[in-house]
């Protein structure tokens, strides 16, 4: 087992999953303003410190993805955030892309940027305690998208990023997100996701990335959020499994899904079925942002001083996701 493979397994084994707390300031501002909290560095830290000091970080969460602002912040007890996370046995991760920007010659699509100067930034993050990283490519589905161009250049960027991250001794999370926006069918989502993931692996292999030392973070196979032809949770699980089975090389140790705008329960139930029916050798777990934090942030915004109450809500969500990552979740457990 290579060192990178060991780090990847530490993050995702035994039902553990990833807390994606790497919202950029723009996204975090949307999340906080939606619950009437001012988006200041202090408030962003306040909420995140509550999550990172919850008991579920030890019990359920194998890795936490941070944003640049957060990895440089200090807790109320004057500890570094990576120290707080590792004191619970979890691994610190960091988002290293600088965002999805308009793609030249295809302005309705996006290319994720951040390769310039990346090697130096990675060295700095390693010194701060990060042992894994994240880079997200986004793909829209509509009549003309995603184009071959968007599929090609995002895969190329994900591969160049992954090679640099491994060179610096960290595990890259490879996140090609086919967005749920639109009225497309689940069948189209399947075809697009399969093409996007296959292209990513073609490039990762070309760039000599050690596939046993990455974690793939894909979307599940779902109909678009405005489609009238939604598929059942059972179908989501079977189609997601067959898509990944045909497009992901067997060396990859694990797959950690994004929630992509699914509700907390939907994302939990779908992950549970994926694990119940898992006919692959991949570990299937979660790397959720919204589906872990939604209820907690709502409660906290109305009860800013109630740290324990906020943590109870977050702990329950993390526990449910961890049960789902083992195929042991049920509605009864959810409502207990």
Bridge partners (DSSP) of residue 74 are 80
Rounded to whole angstroms, the Cα distance separating 176 from 158 reads 8
The only residue of 96, 220, 258, 323 in contact with ligand 5MM, by rule CB under 6 A: 258
Please list, in sequence order, all residues whose beta carbon lies within 8 angstroms of the beta carbon of residue 131, skipping any fewer than 6 positions away: 7, 91, 92, 93, 169, 170, 171
Give the nearer residue to ligand 5MM in terms of CB position, either 250 or 265. Answer: 265
Question: Which of 65, 67, 52, 58 has the alpha carbon at shortest distance from 16?
Answer: 58
Residues 21, 28 contacting (CB under 8 angstroms): no
Residues 317, 290 contacting (CB under 8 angstroms): no
* 48 contacts ligand 5MM (rule: CB under 6 A): no
Give the nearer residue to ligand 5MM in terms of CB position, either 60 or 336. Answer: 60
Joined together, the tokens standing for residue 30 give 């949307």
Question: Which of 136, 233, 123, 239 has the alpha carbon at shortest distance from 191?
Answer: 239
The only residue of 15, 182, 218, 289 in contact with ligand 5MM, by rule CB under 6 A: 289
* 260 contacts ligand 5MM (rule: CB under 6 A): yes
* 20 contacts ligand 5MM (rule: CB under 6 A): yes
Rounded to whole angstroms, the Cα distance separating 316 from 321 reads 9
Give the nearer residue to ligand 5MM in terms of CB position, either 139 or 332. Answer: 139
Within positions 100 to 139, which residues make up the interface with ligand 5MM, using CB under 6 A? 136
Interface region with ligand 5MM, contact rule CB under 6 A, candidates 48-56, 240-248, 257-265, 297-305: 257-265
The only residue of 10, 290, 317, 319 in contact with ligand 5MM, by rule CB under 6 A: 290
Interface region with ligand 5MM, contact rule CB under 6 A, candidates 17-25, 32-40, 49-57, 113-121: 17-25
* 325 contacts ligand 5MM (rule: CB under 6 A): no
Beta strands (DSSP E) in the chain are: 17-20, 61-66, 91-95, 100-103, 106-112, 132-139, 171-178, 215-216, 254-257, 283-288
* 29 contacts ligand 5MM (rule: CB under 6 A): no
Within positions 166 to 205, which residues make up the interface with ligand 5MM, using CB under 6 A? 177
Question: Which of 333, 321, 326, 329 has the alpha carbon at shortest distance from 56?
Answer: 321
Interface region with ligand 5MM, contact rule CB under 6 A, candidates 18-26, 78-86, 160-168, 277-285: 18-26
The only residue of 6, 13, 27, 326 in contact with ligand 5MM, by rule CB under 6 A: 27
Give the nearer residue to ligand 5MM in terms of CB position, either 23 or 203. Answer: 23
Joined together, the tokens standing for residue 62 give 């194998």
Active site amino acids: 217
Nearest approach in angstroms of CB 287 to ligand 5MM is 6
CA 227: distance to chain centroid? 24
Give the nearer residue to ligand 5MM in terms of CB position, either 108 or 246. Answer: 108
Number of H helices, E strands in the chain: 14, 10
Give the interface with ligand 5MM as residue ranges (CB under 6 A): 20, 22-24, 27, 99, 136, 177, 258-260, 288-291
């Amino acid at each position: 087992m290579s060192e990178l493979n060991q780090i990847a397994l530490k993050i995702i084994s035994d039902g553990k999953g990833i807390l994606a707390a790497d919202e950029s300031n723009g996204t975090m501002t949307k999340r906080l303003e939606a619950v009437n909290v001012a988006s200041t560095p202090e408030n962003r830290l306040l909420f995140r410190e509550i999550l990172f000091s919850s008991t579920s970080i030890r019990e359920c969460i194998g890795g936490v993805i941070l944003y640049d602002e957060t990895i440089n912040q200090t807790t109320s007890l004057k500890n570094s955030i990576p120290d707080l996370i590792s004191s619970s046995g979890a691994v610190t991760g960091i988002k290293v892309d600088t965002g999805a920007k308009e793609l030249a010659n295809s302005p309705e699509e996006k290319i994720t940027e951040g390769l310039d100067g990346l090697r130096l930034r990675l060295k700095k993050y390693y010194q701060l305690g990060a042992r894994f990283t994240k880079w997200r490519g986004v793909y829209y589905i509509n009549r003309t998208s995603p184009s071959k161009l968007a599929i090609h250049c995002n895969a190329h960027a994900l591969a160049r990023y992954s090679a640099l991250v491994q060179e610096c001794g960290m595990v890259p999370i490879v996140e090609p997100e086919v967005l749920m926006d639109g009225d497309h069918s689940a069948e189209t989502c399947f075809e697009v996701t399969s093409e996007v993931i296959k292209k990513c692996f073609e490039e990762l292999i070309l760039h000599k990335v050690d596939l046993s030392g990455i974690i793939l973070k894909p979307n599940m196979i779902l109909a678009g959020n405005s489609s009238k032809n939604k598929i059942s949770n059972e179908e989501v699980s079977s189609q997601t499994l067959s898509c990944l089975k045909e497009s992901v090389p067997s060396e990859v140790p694990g797959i950690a899904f994004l929630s992509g705008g699914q509700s907390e329960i939907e994302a939990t139930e779908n992950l549970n079925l994926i694990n119940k029916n898992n006919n692959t050798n991949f570990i299937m777990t979660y790397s959720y942002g919204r589906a872990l934090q939604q209820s907690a942030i709502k409660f906290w915004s109305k009860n800013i001083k109630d740290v324990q109450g906020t943590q109870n809500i977050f702990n329950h969500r993390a526990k449910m996701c961890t049960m789902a990552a083992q195929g042991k979740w049920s509605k009864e457990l959810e409502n207990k």
